[in-house]
Amino acid sequence: MTIEAIAPGKVIIAGEHFVVENEPGIAAAISLYAKVKLEPRSEKEVIELYSVNYNVLNKIKISEINKERIECDAIFYPFFRVMQIVLEEYGKLPSCKIEISSQIPPKAGLGSSAATAVAFSAALLKAIGAEVDLDEVSELAYEAEKISHGKPSGIDNTVSTYGGVIVFKKSEGFVKLDEVKYDEFKLVLADTGSRESTKKLVEKVRRLKNEYDEVFMPFYHAAGHLTIELAKKLSEGDLVAVGELMNVAHGMLYSLGLSTETVEKLVFTARKAGALGAKITGAGGGGMIIALTTPELAEKVSSKLLNAGAAWVKIVNVIEEGVAVDEI
């Protein structure tokens, strides 16, 4: 029995950095996927892990999985954590080959590591005959994310597991938006080709906030109100308003010193080409931008962004479905 699981990546639509101070954020699952294929092996008590993207293969005996130190390539550490938890809880793991691949660019703020962890967790639960409970899948993926990122927010694994558009707040958890008209808009992703340390950017914003606290607290609250209004307009199908609020959200991130000359060039190129809104997505300092467009204008916006020097451009859908797992 071969098992295949897919899980989507994500974008942050609004709330970057402000969620740290318990303001709401909004994120969405997108039509770029991580895939995990699990096939039975004739060699007993052995699990073989293969990363298609990195062309790396590791084998390990199931009897060694609960050891404190595991000899393997670092890219597999998060998956071994998932296997350890499943083995502890269910007392078994399958002898199998697990092939891991992803369409989602790594280190781009699009949730690549979380999506692979979500797909891996779902496939593993299916393989041992357990119920593929979404809450458990998300929790397993979160444990994997702790290996990858130390103190993850939990947003990436949540969006990848449940899909759709999710409003989240640190103190309250998340809620999935209803009535989003997914077929009425597209997102165009554009990569600036540059990266800056997320940790450094978070520290930069924290320093500003601490130094000018009385100025920044109303600013943070305004960002929170913007996120709630954007979620409301998206549920109502008012895409013009959503785009306008995305532009305002970008301006707020710009004012914190999180933009770059290349980011601004791409943002204004997208808007000039007809995008309803365009902004940084993620930590900033380069990285990715997103542009909201009608389906009819997505190709034009994409072409203009490539001509403006974007390193990579992709038109994606925001999707309602999260992780899916099947026998093939």
Residue with tokens 């990122």: 149
d(CA 145, CA 97): 22
The reply to whether 156 belongs to the active site is yes
3-class DSSP state of 310: coil
The pairing of beta strand 46-51 with beta strand 96-102:
parallel
- Give me the phi and psi of 208, to 5 degrees please: -60, -45
- Range 208-217 contact pairs with CB under 8 angstroms and sequence separation of 24 or more: 208/256, 208/257, 209/21
d(CA 78, CA 80): 5
d(CA 179, CA 24): 20
d(CA 48, CA 202): 38
CB atoms within 10 A of CB 261: 9
- Alpha-carbon torsion 113, 119, 125, 131, what sign? positive
The pairing of beta strand 186-191 with beta strand 312-316:
antiparallel
Burial 127-137 (b: 16+ CB within 10 A, else e): beeeebebebb
Question: Which residues are 187's β-sheet partners?
Answer: 292, 316
Residue 247: which H helix or E strand, with range? helix 239-255
Catalytic residue, chosen from 73, 156, 183, 213, is 156
Cβ burial of 197 (10 Å; 0-12, 13-18, 19+) is exposed
Q: Which amino acids are annotated catalytic?
A: 156
